[in-house]
Amino acid sequence: MFEIKNVSMIYDMNSDEKMYALNGFDLTLPDTGLVGVIGPSGSGKSTLMYCMSTLKTPTEGSILYNGQDITTLPNKNREMLRRNEFGFVFQKHYLVPYMTAMDNVIVAGTNNDKELMDKATQYLLALGLKEKEFYKRPSKLSGGQCQRVAIARAMINNPKVIFADEPTASLDHENAFNVMKILKKYSKDRLVIVVTHDRSILTDVDITVEMWDGKLSNAIRKEER
Amino acid sequence: MKSKLSALKFVRNNKKQVWVMIVALSLTFMTMYIVNFLFLTTKESFKALFLEQPKRVAYLDITPATMGVEKDNYTSDDEYSVAIDKARDNMIADIKKHEGIRDAVLTQTIYASYQGIIGQVGYDFPLLSKEQIPEFLNHMGAKLIEGRMPEGDGEILVDEKVLKNKKMEVGGYFNESSYGHTFKVVGVLASDYMTCVGTPMGYTNSGWYIVVLCDEANADMTKVLKDIGITPTEYDTMYDCVDWADMYEELVTKQLDAALLAILIVVVIFLAISILVAYVSFMRSRVNEYCLYTSIGFGRKDVYGMIMREIVLIFGISIILGGIVTVIIMIYLGSFVLEPMGLIYKYFYPEHLLRILAAFVAIVGALQIPISVTINNIKTIDMIEE
C-alpha cells in the first residue's frame, strides 16, 4: 500500500545547519496490518506519519500510496485522500468542546447523519463507552473516554489507513491495551499505523518500525521476531 | 456523500452565546426601524400640512408696490390707503376669474401649531364669516363629525387630528398666538388636509391674507398672479404649494433624512465594532476546531462555508425575530402613542427596511476581515503539535 522511497524532511532549509527530521527514509508497508513505529523523541516518527498522511510534504523523495505519489498531489486531492481514505488519532484528542461525544464522532463523517449515528453508536460501544456518555460533552468525559471518542471519529468513514500518534498516551494501562485491541481488530482488513515511544503496547503489532535520527533503524515483521 | 460542515451544530450547542448575539442583533434591528418609524411618522404627519393642504388653499400678502401702488404718487395717507384697497379688490376679482380658482377672499387668519414626535410645525387657517364656512369646508372636502357649525364670533372648527394633537375637546378654548382672544372649539372636522376654520373675533397676530381656494393644477400662486399681470417680488408673502413644498424639503425631508442617516451610521459603526469583537473572540476560541477540520480532510473553503452559514443563520433568525418584535412595538406605539397624538403613521417603509438590511449585509461584509484572517491562519494539527 505504501512505498516510501528515499524520503527526507529538512526543517530550517535556509539555515547553515539543516535539521533532518527524516533522512533518506525507505519503507514498504502492506495493505493491512498493525504497524508500530517506535523511536525516541525527535527520531522523526511523527514527521513520518504526517508525511504519509499528506499533512506534510517531504523535502525529497516520494511516497507512493497504491502506486500514486502523494507528495506531488494538489491540495484538493490531498484533502480528499485524508477525508475519504485516512483516519487520524492525534496525541491530544482534539474533540470539539461544544459538541457531544456522538457529534464529535460524526462530524468527520461523509455519509448521511442517520447512517453515521448507527455506525458511531457501534464504535463507541465497542470502545467501551456507555450510551449515557454519548451525549456528554468532552469536558464531562475522562481523558481516556475522550481519546476513545477520537478513535471512533477516526474510524467513522471506514478508512483504509488509520494514523495514530501516541493514541494511548493519555490512557491507563488497561484502557491502553483495550484501544490497541480495537486497533488490532480494525487492522485485520485495513492498515493501522501507530506511532509511539511505549514499546509495551506494541506486543501484538504485525510490523515494528524502529527509527533513530530520522532514519529507519530496523523493521521487524511479527514472524521474524 | 456529505460535503458540508454543519452550521447547526454550533448554533444548537452554543445556545447562550448564539442567543446573546441574536437578541443583540434583533434589538438593533428593532431600534433602527422604530427610530425610522417615529421620524417618518413626523414626516408623514407634516406631509398633510406641507404638501396636501396647499394644493387646496393658498395665503397671499401682496405689497402695494407689486400691485402697482407707489406711495410717492399720493399726497396723503388716506389717498394711498384707498388706492391700495382698490388695487387689492381688483386683484382679488382677477384672481377669482382665473381658471381653477374657486374663491379668493381677504380675511384674518389664526395660527395653529401641530406637534410631531420630533419638531413642531405651525400653519394659518382662515377666519371667515359663518356664511362662507360651508363653502370652505366643501372645497377642502372636510366634514363636520362632532359638534356644530360656528354661529357667533370667535368659534372654530378643528380637524380631529389637530384637536387630538392639542389634547383638546369640543367646548375647549383655542388661544394660540391670538393676542389673548380665546376661540371656542364648537365642532370637529374629518379631513385629509388637517382643515381648521373659524369666525373672527377682534385682531389676531397672524394678520390678514387673501385666502385663495384653488385646485391642484392652479395652486402655484406665482403663476396665477403672473397670468393676471402681477409679478410677485421677494417682498410678497405667498404661502402656496411651491413655498410649502420648499419648506417641507428644507425643514422636514432634508433634516429628518440627515438625522436618520446619521443615526443609522452611528448604530452600524457601533454594531459592527461590537460584532467584530464578539466574532474575533468566537473564532479564537474555535481555532483548534478549524485546525481539526482541515487536518481530517475538510478544505479551508468548507470551514469558511460553515462559518458563513452560521452567520447567515444567526443574522436571519435575528432579522425575523427583530421584525416580529418591531411589528408588535409599532402596533403598540401606533395605538397608544401616535393615535392619541393625532399623528399620521404607516408601518411599512420598504426603502428604509432595505437600508437597514443593507446595513446588516455591510456588517456581514465587515466580518469577512476577521474571518479571512482566521481562515488564512488555520494550521493543521501537525503544525500545532510541533
Residues of A in contact with B299 (CB under 8 A): 75-76, 79
With beta carbons less than 8 A apart as the criterion, state whether B19 and B331 touch. no
Percent of chain B with pLDDT over 70: 96
Record: contact B381-A90, CB cut-off 8 A: yes
Alpha helices in B72-148 (DSSP H): 77-97, 133-140
CA-nearest residue to B3 within chain A is: A110
Predicted confidence at residue B81, as pLDDT, reads 94
B197 forms beta bridges with: B157
The pLDDT tens digits of the residues spanning A52-71 come to 999 999 999 999 999 999 99
Record: contact B297-A84, CB cut-off 8 A: yes
Tell me if residue B81 falls in helix, strand or coil.
helix
Tell me if residue B234 falls in helix, strand or coil.
coil
Predicted confidence at residue B313, as pLDDT, reads 94
The pLDDT tens digits of the residues spanning B191-240 come to 999 999 999 887 766 678 999 999 999 999 999 999 999 999 999 999 99
Distance, in Å, from the CA atom of A202 to the CA atom of A145, rounded to the nearest integer, reads: 21
Complete domains list, chain A, with CATH = 30-50+87-224 (3.40.50.300)
DSSP codes of every residue in B319-337:
HHHHHHHHHHHHHHHIIII
The rounded Cα B231 to chain-centroid distance in angstroms is 34
At residue A171 the predicted structure's pLDDT band, cuts being 50, 70 and 90, is: confident
A77 touches chain B (CB under 8 A): no
Record: contact B299-A109, CB cut-off 8 A: no
Record: contact A94-B297, CB cut-off 8 A: no
Tell me if residue A154 falls in helix, strand or coil.
helix
The pLDDT tens digits of the residues spanning B238-289 come to 999 999 999 999 988 898 889 888 988 898 888 889 888 888 888 888 888 9
A107 touches chain B (CB under 8 A): yes
Cβ-Cβ pairs closer than 8 A, A with B, add up to: 67
Q: Is the pLDDT confidence value at A13 over 90?
A: no
The pLDDT tens digits of the residues spanning B22-52 come to 999 999 999 999 999 998 998 889 998 899 9
With beta carbons less than 8 A apart as the criterion, state whether B157 and B189 touch. yes
Q: Is the pLDDT confidence value at A169 over 90?
A: no
Domain layout of chain B by residue ranges: 8-47+250-385, 57-239
Residues of A in contact with B288 (CB under 8 A): 94
